[in-house]
Amino acid sequence: MTDKLICPECGAENVEDAEFCHFCHADLKGDTTVEFIDPQQNDQDDFGLLNGKEEDLTDILHALKQTEEEAVLADETQEDQLPIDEPEDGFDEGEAQEDEGIPDWLHRIRQRATEEDDSLGEITQKISAAKESLKGDKPEEQHENFESWIEKLRGPVGGFVNKEPDAAASDDAFDEKDEEIQEKEPDWLQKIRVAEGKEIVQDDQESLDHGENSLLNWLAALEDSEEDTAEVGDEPDLVDEDMESESVEIDESAETREIPIDETPLYEAIPPKLTITKEERNQADQLTSMILDENAPRPVRAIKRRSKLGAARFFFAILLILSMSLSLFIGGTTGNQSGPIQPHTAGFLSWISDLEESSSILLVFDYQPAYASEINLVSTPILQSLVSKDSEISLISSSVSGTILQRQLLGEIHALETDSIVDLGYFPIGAYGAFGLGMVTSANWQIVGLPESSKALPDGGFDSILILSDTAEGVRTWIEQLTVLMPDIPISLVVTAQSMPMLVPYFDSGQITGMVSGLNDGVILESELSTGILIGNRRRAYQVGLVMLAAIMVIGAVNAGNQNHEEGGAA
């Protein structure tokens, strides 16, 4: 047994005569000496990946977080707790709470880590269990197993390190790089090292090699360095002698204390045998595979610099707005639709022309305000026609803003004043689909005592149904639902151009009688129904916009082709 000092601040081990903690520089005078574990055993523990110093990534990140938070703590004022002391809702709030200082849970972890065996969660408990088994009777075998396991880790890591031999080969290069590291080394990396109890300079070169790939590489590399230390007989916690001599200056500047190195070999490289459970093996394998996965060669793509994206958008915005404005405000209207009328449009036209006077129509509003301009453009002439035929219109909305949009659309054609319009309200069909709503009227029994609470869809009494929607899925839900409730009533659609291709099958299958979408169908409807000019010179602007997009796509493709060609030539 050897006496060691446990730092009251951070829990790190220190040699018995140390005055300050080598980890956190806390004053150790007056601390009681505690009996600690056998040094040889200690070495064995530290040697393996499953050491007891919380060296898994999670704990390192915990430590990192703590350091960050401590740093911010000084600047932050305490924030009042909200009634529900719960996770944060805004993006910011959480950070603010993080900044309040070391969070409670981290405190608890750290406190429990020093007090309880089971405080670090399941995996750590398993690790502790494995450690306990290490303390058992066959140290040689344990070492053997650990070594083979670490060999598995080291292979790809070593491979990765070897990818950059030039950097380490030249001393000059090393020095230059070292300086660069000092400059570029991010705070978090230093914090990790502080948390790890490593000297900052000790593994600079290693971090350069590993750090760019991932933290896990770096971790695996740490294992390598620890093993090296052990092999030369140094105490694992201490600075490698060679490295120390190379970095004396920086060590001094970092105000690190010189720590005496125990010259007696604390560790004999006798491979131990480890007996671990299947579950522990699985966890170890999982960790191994995770580290191997991190090290696996990946097709790393160079991040494309998008700094010119804003400028490009500005350029295209100017181009589009200017050309649209010129088309809208200068020049007259364009002619009628050129090209064949598509079958679903023809179906819609015949539906509306066959509609009798004073028919009863169910009008479904299933679109968002964003698409109102497009839907209104097409549906205005239709609604004008319906109103002129004295149709009785029942309104249902299934979009959040449906009731508002009803009023906007009907208000524009001054139809709100008529008595023939009935509002049936909002149906949350989007929540789960109207599946259940449709079934209620078709059932032949009821649950005893169940109140008439739900809003049931009407199951008939209409001559026709018109759905105004911006999404194919909304239309689909309604078609499926209404077909169950009112199988014989014809359904027609006014939809957006983007959802139209997905809805053609419903016309093919005969589930809908007709469908119109987009400005071109609006033009046809205007001319067929002889309503007021709404489309006007919008069509010219629309055509200009579409042609512009086609041209830009082609130019972009040619440009990309040329660039590729040039790059190929240069290569």
Interactions with other proteins, residue window 410-449 (CB under 8 A): 423, 425-426, 428, 430-433, 435-437, 439-440, 442-449
CB of 566 vs other proteins, minimal distance in Å? 13
Contacts (Cβ under 8 Å, ≥6 apart) of 483:
491, 511
Contacts 24+ apart (CB under 8 A), 436-445: 437/481, 438/481, 438/482, 438/484, 438/485, 439/484, 441/485, 442/484, 442/485
Distance CA 428, CA 430 (A): 5
x/- site string to other proteins, residues 295 to 334, per CB under 8 A? ---xxxx-x-xxx-xx-xxx-xx--xx--xx--xx-----
Which member of 114, 182, 350, 408 binds other proteins (CB under 8 A)? Answer: 408
Token digits of residue 93: 């709030």
The two structure tokens encoding residue 125 = 């408990």
Residue of 35, 75, 80, 567 that binds other proteins (CB under 8 A) = 80
Which string of x and - marks every residue 530-559 that binds other proteins (by CB under 8 A)? --------x--xxx-xxxxxx-xxxxxx-x
Total residues interacting with other proteins, rule: CB under 8 A: 151
Tokens of 322: 């200017």
Q: What is the bridge-based pairing of β-strands 13-15 and 3-6?
A: antiparallel
Q: Which is nearer to other proteins, 42 or 207 (CB)?
A: 207
Cβ(548)–Cβ(318) under 8 Å?
Answer: no
* Contacts to other proteins from residues 205-224, by CB under 8 A: 211, 213-215
Whose Cβ is closer to other proteins: residue 362's or residue 500's? 500
Taking the complex as a whole, the smallest distance from the CB of residue 207 to other proteins amounts, in Å, to 11
Interacting span for other proteins (CB under 8 A) from 39-47, 138-146, 269-277, 291-299:
291-299
CB of 194 to other proteins, least distance (A): 16
Return the number of the residue (24 or 548) whose C-beta is nearest other proteins.
548
Site for other proteins in 132-161 (CB under 8 A): none
Residues 495-524 that bind other proteins (CB under 8 A): 496-502, 504-505, 508-509, 518-520
202 vs 499, which CB is nearer to other proteins?
A: 499
Positions in 340-359 near other proteins (CB under 8 A): 340-343
Query: For other proteins, which stretch binds (CB under 8 A), given 20-28, 158-166, 263-271, 494-502?
Result: 494-502
Q: Which is nearer to other proteins, 48 or 474 (CB)?
A: 474
CB of 133 to other proteins, least distance (A): 24
Contact 7, 26 (CB under 8 A): yes
Hey, CA dihedral for 101, 103, 104, 106, is it positive or negative?
A: negative
Q: Return the number of other C-beta atoms located less than 10 Å from residue 178's C-beta.
A: 17
Window of 59-67, 163-171, 233-241, 387-395 that interacts with other proteins by CB under 8 A: 59-67
Q: Considering the complex, what minimum distance in angstroms separates the CB of residue 245 from other proteins?
A: 30
- Output the six-digit token pair for 408: 């906007």
Number of neighbours of residue 484 by Cβ within 10 angstroms = 17
Select from 3, 9, 38, 58 the one that contacts other proteins (CB under 8 A): 58
Minimum separation from the CB atom of position 404 to other proteins (A): 5
Our CB check for other proteins shows the closer of 169 and 447 to be 447
HEC letters along 102-149: CCHHHHHHHHHHHHCCCCCHHHHHHHHHHHHHHCCCCCHHHHHHHHHH
Taking CB under 8 A as the criterion, which residues in 383-402 touch other proteins? Answer: 400-401
Nearer to other proteins, 37 or 102 (CB): 102
Paired with 422 in beta bridges are: 394
What residue has token string 């890591």?
A: 157
415-454 b/e (C-beta count within 10 Å ≥ 16 → b)? beeeeebeeeebbebeeebbeebbeeeeeeeeeeeeeeee
Minimum CB separation of residue 151 from other proteins in Å reads: 23
Q: CB 488 → other proteins: shortest distance, Å?
A: 18
Distance, CA of 2 to CA of 38 (rounded, Å):
6
Q: Which two tokens stand for residue 514?
A: 């007709």
Three-class DSSP category at 514: strand
269 is a site residue for other proteins (CB under 8 A): no
Q: Please report the DSSP string for 444-455 in residue order.
A: S---TT--S-S-
Q: Which one of residues 255, 263, 453, 569 is an interface residue with other proteins (CB under 8 A)? A: 453
For the bound state, the minimum distance from the C-beta of residue 325 to other proteins, rounded and expressed in Å, comes to 6
